[in-house]
Chain A
Amino acid sequence: MSVAITTSKLGKKFGDEMAVSEVTLEVNTGEVYGLIGPNGAGKTTLIRMLCGLFIPSFGKGTVLGFDIERDRARIRERIGYMSQGFGLYSDLSVDDNLRFYADIYGVRDTEYVDSVRSRLGLQDVSGQVVGNLSTGARQRSALAAALVHRPELVVLDEPTSGVDPVARDSIWQLVGELASEGVTALVTTHVMPEAQRCDRLALLSEGRLVATGTPEELISRSGLTVAAVDAAPWREAFAILQRQWPEAALYGTRIHIPFSGGGAEEQAIREALRGLELRSLTWQRPTMEDAFIALASTRASQ
């Protein structure tokens, strides 16, 4: 299996601020690799180093076999990049934008550009000025622009932020299809259900790499079990439980409390809710979000 991205103790300092420190990871070719972490965790900084927009302060890295410091030009020819701040010209139409990027990359195959456009369902809006499109259509156009030159690697920085579920699904579906065609995808997100669509994940917190693995591995590694409580009135129940277990969280009107280890706390929960109507108390596997919060906070407290 060949490797698309490697980093070795890669780090970036802004003044005294350590934005990313000692990140060592490997992304395989054809893999959908997710960088997850709270805002400010260093995901974008890491991506910008890989793409040559930032010079690393420490460490090394390669992208598609090229050194991220010396071979920036070669890397740029081969990757498609979708920045977090929307990168298309909002006063140009979708087609003008696509043509511009195709020209910049020297793409003469207009049929391919057309196929990218229709794969992302942009035919109907192709003449419209990008600034007037819905967020979903805008993000799909940005993705199309990042794909016009058949990149070997696509780097997507929060591609689905502010996007409706349908458009979000079409973006992820395309990423999956690209991966099956051998295109590696490096995607950042802090939406956990999306993270579960990645082959592998790297969890960043405060600039450090906290954990890597498949979504399932990260969930098991969190060592959590979650108590799902359905009680009435739920507001009161939540207030009581949160006082005792601050990590308790609301999912609709149900309350999830993650515990490391077994179900020993069941009695304590029943005790706490005495006087309220406890409709059900079940034990669940943690969601990606539960695991994420647990893993991020263990690291932060260390």
Chain B
Amino acid sequence: MAHFKKKRGGSKQEVPTSAMPDVIFILLFFFMVTTVLREVTLKVRVNLTQAQNIEKIEQKRLLSYIYIGPERLPGNRLGEDKVQIDDTIIEDLGAIRTLMYDKLREQPKLIVSLRVDEGSEFGLLTDVQEELKQASTFRINYSTRRER
């Protein structure tokens, strides 16, 4: 037995590479499918609440997000409720007006998706909504998950 084995080892022995493209494709598809594209890093905690009578938004390109929730502080602590648009936390709520107005000019059919933490107080949300009214971005959407 050992004698035969040695002989084979000396002759050419190749790994079949014809399946290599397939393997690569599997990997490609796997990563394509499992990767969730997140455009912004959340600086506030947003646990969405649940509701029953909700609608789906098919046209994602119309959406612009506003995040409201307790600020994430270093060391897993949570701070005050803050408003985040894109990548920055907005301290001065008056800035929302110009920000959203610019977005509206780029996309006249803009829908503002408000992703608000379930524990946040209504007051801050009203202030943000008031700014949205001033920016004439009237179409909003309270992001919720489907209730089960």
A is bound by B: no
